[in-house]
Structure 1
């Protein structure tokens, strides 16, 4: 038996199918870029980049918060910083996008930078947090002059050595395979690379010279740890 409602039902089904087709068509256009105007392409690119950036920021902040509460080495550094007169909190760790030359940073004026788009794991985020906290510790405990290449080099040696940044598994990931004094070699290399990013210490050969001169004394200074972590 045909009812009066059937034509309307068919129209609704047809309309629903048409909407599904339009959504599929637009999705395909955005994926392939075919059929989009330059304005639409730019808008889609911006939207995609913003979504990725928001996701990276949320992930970075989630890892940061968990590490501040549960990581033994991060908690130890928080306590050591407080004892050194530089108590810090979650708000002092900023998750922001960076270029591909770094995974974190420290500034006496702005605190600790965590590069949200550079972390490949929570362990990487942990090492980065401790690395930058070591710089803050040196700044508070030893009154580092960051315009002095020797001061800066010493802090870079200590941060690379004590943060976990040069553990064997991290070196394997970077493509460095070695067994004899691998840790020391990594610390020197990482310290030189960081020092070269200081405009005052970027003259050819200067970073290598300075790191070499301060290496032994700074490498052997494991404060606030009893030994290399």
Structure 2
């Protein structure tokens, strides 16, 4: 089927107009303040769309090809919580998180926070462990001990505390690095829970459940 020359010309014109506006924005020539704000808004929207499409593409690839993600999908199905890509939504987030889990809304993937596909894979597994715990234990997320246990397990089992990730964060401990990271990450997450945000509550909850929950590696045979 031959391409419509008028349609092709229109596409080329749009590309040219966008390039011209970009040049004007960089040089500051020929753009009013109103035009500049409008163009900045267009750029921001384009970048947000790009991040969303990248997140969804990585999500679909990982759900099909990642051994650990496909294992978690199978484990969730066996636990009575079968999910598909509709349950993992890509959305922009603030800088304090890369993902989230809600019993009512499923798994949130923070499209603007991933620095690699591997980072997104770890985040998906982290949140899927929360979902697994919710299915298996009927977790009360307002109970700080319940929440702390799931955060310990998710931080430990998802790859979030592997040595290379810790290096990126600026932590260089070699002795019991995994345990230290797991405790720290779990406390940070529990502190975000309004029910556990009072000073010292998250620290005490994580300390109380740490040993038993760190040693519970289900559905894995061992720490990934």
SS at match of 2:115: coil
The residue that corresponds to 1:138 in the other structure is 133
The residue that corresponds to 2:33 in the other structure is 38
Distance 2:222 2:60 in 1: 26
The residue that corresponds to 1:48 in the other structure is 43
Structure 2 gaps of 5+ residues are 1-15
Distance 1:105 1:157 in 2: 15
1:184-209 per-residue CA deviation (whole Å, 9 max, x = no partner) reads 00000000000010011000111111
Q: Tell me if 1:58 matches 2:59.
A: no
Q: Tell me if 1:152 matches 2:123.
A: no
Q: Tell me if 1:178 matches 2:173.
A: yes
Q: CA deviation at 1:38?
A: 2.2
Distance 1:79 1:69 in 2: 12
The residue that corresponds to 1:162 in the other structure is 157
The residue that corresponds to 1:90 in the other structure is 85
Distance 1:142 1:23 in 2: 53
Q: Tell me if 1:100 matches 2:60.
A: no
Distance 1:135 1:71 in 2: 19
The residue that corresponds to 1:109 in the other structure is 104
Normalised by the length of structure 2, the TM-score is 0.90
The residue that corresponds to 2:208 in the other structure is 213
CA RMSD, Structure 1 to Structure 2 (Å):
1.6
The residue that corresponds to 1:15 in the other structure is none
Structure 1 gaps of 5+ residues are 1-20
